[in-house]
Amino acid sequence: MHINWYPGHMKKTKELIQENLKLVDVVIELLDARIPMSSRNPQIDELVERKPRVVALNKSDLADPQITRKWVNYFAAQGINAVPVNSMTGEGLDKMIALVEEAAKEKMDALINKGMRKRAVRSMIVGIPNVGKSSIINRLTGKKSAKTGDKPGVTKGKQWVRLRGNIELLDTPGILWPKFENQQVGLKLAFTGAIKDEILDIETIALHLVAYLVREYTNQIKERYKLSEIFLDNLENLERIAKNRGCIFSGGRIDYSRAANLILDEFRSGKIGKITLEKPEDYISTIKA
């Protein structure tokens, strides 16, 4: 299946980032810890150019912790500091702030050496829709400075907010990209909710997710859905899940839509287990654990 989604406001966001980058000392790139590579907008490297950058791996509580550690090492090998964070509990955010201050130190010292007054570190947070930017801002400010929602596209415009410490942050709406070169990227974004469910074939998306979970997290899916065995036909696996969870119409017909939404909801909420959909080894073979 082919997934493409590039609403007009995302084009405006790209322009917004380009226009305001000169005001920023450090860029915070917010990624989904379950899909760190697929949730990276390939345009961001071009947009932020040589600005110092900190990667925050959000929703780390939902991701496989062993694989998250590998991703931290992956980014470190590229000279980028990465930190797992949880926007719901605030875990990891103090370290993220410390890394932002560290990344800006050279710039701040240079300003002081020129005789200028010390000012707040200016940062910009960028990321795809529904990755948790607004939740992190609210956690850092201790108040609802940014709108939040469980669907992509809630943040609409530009706003500066003061974070704890001496940091100001420019929030930007989520930005996807015009075309997914690899449709597997589109599927992973659909699995995690970065693309609106309303424009997707949910039943097909759920079937692809079941196929991945059966292959990579067999024990977790068997335990969650009380599967005594795994079938080679993933449609049969999905139907067995539907029957075990009561997703049945009168007369015994499978309610595929209800089963699909159940599986996606339980994956996204972590009820199936701590699951990561891609590994650094998929992109580089010599990464150290």
Residue 59 marked as a ligand binder: yes
d(CA 235, CA 219) in angstroms, rounded, equals: 18
Q: How far is CA 182 from CA 1, 93, 211, in A?
A: 11, 32, 18
d(CA 71, CA 281) in angstroms, rounded, equals: 10
Residue 133 marked as a ligand binder: yes
Residue 86 marked as a ligand binder: yes
Residue 113 marked as a ligand binder: no
Residue 83 marked as a ligand binder: no
Taking Cα atoms as reference points, which of 97, 12, 59 lies closest to residue 194?
A: 59
Residue 61 marked as a ligand binder: yes
Residue 90 marked as a ligand binder: no
H or E segment at 85?
none
Are 84 and 33 spatial neighbours (Cβ–Cβ below 8 Å)? yes
Are 258 and 265 spatial neighbours (Cβ–Cβ below 8 Å)? no
Residue 41 marked as a ligand binder: no
Taking Cα atoms as reference points, which of 85, 89, 100 lies closest to residue 164?
A: 100
d(CA 264, CA 233) in angstroms, rounded, equals: 19
Are 137 and 182 spatial neighbours (Cβ–Cβ below 8 Å)? no
Taking Cα atoms as reference points, which of 152, 170, 177 lies closest to residue 41?
A: 177
Taking Cα atoms as reference points, which of 9, 14, 3 lies closest to residue 192?
A: 3
Tokens 């694989």, residue located: 67
Structure tokens at 180: 């997914």
Structure tokens at 115: 């005789």
Structure tokens at 129: 């829709």
Structure tokens at 133: 């930017």
Residue 149 marked as a ligand binder: no
Residue 134 marked as a ligand binder: yes
* Helix, strand, or coil (residue 173): coil
Q: Which residues are annotated as a binding site?
A: 58-61, 86-87, 130-135, 174
Q: Which residues are annotated as a binding site for GTP?
A: 58-61, 86-87, 130-135, 174
